[in-house]
Copies of this chain bind each other. A is one copy, B any other.
């Protein structure tokens, strides 16, 4: 225990607060939406912010993120859903009050229940990604990073099914891609690619969903066991993309 005792003391009186921030995305009403809370206190009182909170002494950042997600959304089942560490934001001054290092996570939800405001927030709500105005702190950047990450992961992983309910049609899956990427895709080609990737989606034996409305009934699929896409499903018409 001789190791770095000086370091311990040095930083003991200038501690870092460690928090998690959550960029929770869903596809609702054909639009990419993000879970936001309205801040009740200064700074940024009245501004929207990403949900999040302190990491408690006994838990990892992942555990804290999952706990906060359950608290903020009122979801009972947060064990199975997709939660991924995005990156850590540690710029001095990102919180005007004290030194806060925040580990950001991205979560994807399929059906998107209406959230109830937690204890710390004036209200919580889903807001469209595009009209999620200036957020508190550096949350605009975190949200943009999350969007970019999710968009990139759709290309080479089976992540898109995390936006879908347990059973879905290829049209719904395609709308996920189109919504996150902000593009339109050719339906037959999308279909060909998805079905050509073994383990991406599995057909539900007896199922053909009446979409409730127009069009021919679509076959129903479930998420398959695969996690990676080979070959990838690339976004159209881009020459260079960020590294």
Among A88, A92, A100, A243, the most chain B Cβ lie within 10 Å of the Cβ of A88
Q: Would you call A42 and B3 a contact (CB within 8 A)?
A: yes
Q: Would you call A2 and B57 a contact (CB within 8 A)?
A: no
Q: Would you call B1 and A98 a contact (CB within 8 A)?
A: no
Q: Would you call B120 and A3 a contact (CB within 8 A)?
A: yes
| A183 adjacent to chain B (CB < 8 Å) | no
Q: Which residue of B lies closest to A104 (CB)?
A: B88
Q: Is the interface of A mostly helix, strand, loop or mixed?
A: loop
Q: Which of A7-15, A106-114, A170-178, A184-192 contacts B (4 or more CB under 8 A)?
A: A7-15
Within 8 A of B (CB), among A24-67: 37, 39-43, 49-55, 57-62
Q: Would you call A2 and B228 a contact (CB within 8 A)?
A: no
Chain A contact residues (Cβ within 8 angstroms of B): what range? 35 or more
| A210 adjacent to chain B (CB < 8 Å) | no
Q: Would you call A43 and B87 a contact (CB within 8 A)?
A: no
Given contacts A2-B118, A11-B57, 4 further A-B contacts (CB under 8 A): A1-B102, A1-B137, A3-B43, A15-B16
Q: Could you name 21 residue pairs across A and B whose Cβ atoms are closer than 8 Å?
A: A1-B50, A1-B95, A1-B100, A2-B37, A2-B41, A2-B42, A3-B19, A3-B39, A7-B54, A8-B98, A11-B15, A11-B17, A15-B16, A58-B92, A61-B90, A61-B101, A87-B88, A90-B103, A153-B243, A159-B243, A230-B240
